[in-house]
Amino acid sequence: MRIARYVVGENPVYGVVELAEDGGEHPDTILALTGDPLAGPVKYTGERVHLDDVRLVAPVIPRSKIVAIGRNYVEHIRELGNAIPEQPVSFLKPNTAVIGPGEPIVLPRVAREVHYEGELAVVIGRICRDVPAERVADVVFGYTVANDVSARDLQKSDVQWGRAKGFDTFCPLGPWIATHLTVEEASDLEIVTSVQHADGTRVEGQRASTALMMRGISELVQFVSSWCTLLPGDVILTGTPAGVGPIVPGDRVDITIEGIGTLSNPVVAQDA
C-alpha cells in the first residue's frame, strides 16, 4: 500500500492512497488512518477524501536522522570526477531539511551552485542495530522518493558536507511511502529526474535504475546500522545516479521512481 500524510484543517493525518492504477472502487482517494503507522498500530477511520482535495506533506519527519549515502552509482562518481570509495560514504542530513511534495526548495543566498539529486529513500520501521543483510526486509517500513539537494560549491569548499546538504528545504520527501515493495523489487526500479524551467521547457537530467547502485539496499542498511541505532521513521538515502545538474529560481524538479510515484518541488530564491 501507499501511506501518505496530508493536512485536514490544520493537523496532518495519515492515510492509505488508492490510485486509479490499483483498479479499486475509489481511484485517487485517501482512506484516513488513526494515529501514526510508524509509531504503532492504526485503524481506518472510515473517512475517505479525494487526493485533489488535500495537501500532501512529507510522509515522514524522521524522528532522529536522515543518513545519506554518497557516491553509490559509478557513472555519478565519474561525472563529478571523484574516486570510487572503498567504504560506503555516509553523512547526516538534519530532519529540519525535510519538506513535502509541492513545497518550495529555497536556494540559500550563500550558495552559487545548487543541484538536484534524485534518490530512492528507505524508511525504517523498527528500532534496530547491526542488522544482517538477510534480515533487512524485517526493519524496512517502505520506500519513498527523495531529493538530496546539494549546494555543490559549498560541498567542495567545506570539508564536511553538513551545511552543503543540510539547509532547510534540502530534503524533499514523498509523495508517499510505498510499503508493498520487497527489497528485491525496490532494487530494480527506474528513477527519472527532470527539471521544468520557468519558460516551460523541460530537461531530463537523470534516467537510471536502482539496480545500478554499487551497494544495494540490504548492504546499505547493514552498513548504516553497524554504526548507529536506527529508529522507526529514520530515513536512508541510497545515493544518486548520473545526471545531476543545477536548479535556479522558477524551476520545478520532478523525480519519478517506478512503482512509488513522483515527487515535485518548485525552486525559489531565499527571501523571494
Residue numbers of the site for Mg ion (CB under 5 A)? 117, 148, 240
Q: Kindly tell me which of 210 and 240 has the beta carbon lying closer to Mg ion.
A: 240
Q: Which is nearer to Mg ion, 18 or 117 (CB)?
A: 117
Closest CB to Mg ion among residues 29, 72: 72
Calpha distance 105→245 (Å, rounded)? 15
CB 149, min distance to Mg ion, A:
9
H helices of the chain, in order, are 74-79, 136-139, 152-157, 183-186, 217-227
- Kindly state the smallest distance separating residue 92's Cβ from Mg ion, in Å: 12
Per 3-state DSSP, the chain is made up of helix, strand and coil in percentages (nearest 5) of 15, 40, 40
179-205 b/e with 16+ CB inside 10 Å = b?
bebebeebbebebbbbbbeeeeeeeeb
> Residue of minimal CB distance from Mg ion?
148
CB of 195 to Mg ion, least distance (A): 16
Minimum CB–partner distance for residue 198 and Mg ion (Å): 25
Question: What minimum distance in Å lies between the beta carbon of 76 and Mg ion?
Answer: 8
When the beta carbons of 3 and 60 are compared against Mg ion, the nearer one is 60
* 168 class by beta-carbon count within 10 Å (0-12 exposed, 13-18 middle, 19+ buried): middle
CA distance linking residue 1 with residue 6, whole number of Å: 16
Nearer to Mg ion, 222 or 240 (CB): 240
- Least Cβ distance, residue 73 to Mg ion (angstroms): 9
Cell numbers describing residue 97: 531539511
Q: How many residues does the chain have?
A: 272
Please choose, from the candidates 69, 210, 59, the residue with its C-alpha nearest in 3D space to the C-alpha of residue 123: 59
Q: Is the peptide bond before 175 cis (omega within 30 degrees of 0)?
A: yes
Q: Smallest distance from the beta carbon of 59 to Mg ion, in angstroms?
A: 19
Closer to Mg ion by Cβ: residue 70 or 142? 70
Containing 255, the helix (H) or strand (E) segment is: strand 252-257
Integer Cα distance of 64 and 3 in angstroms: 20
Q: Would you say 12 or 239 has its CB closer to Mg ion?
A: 239
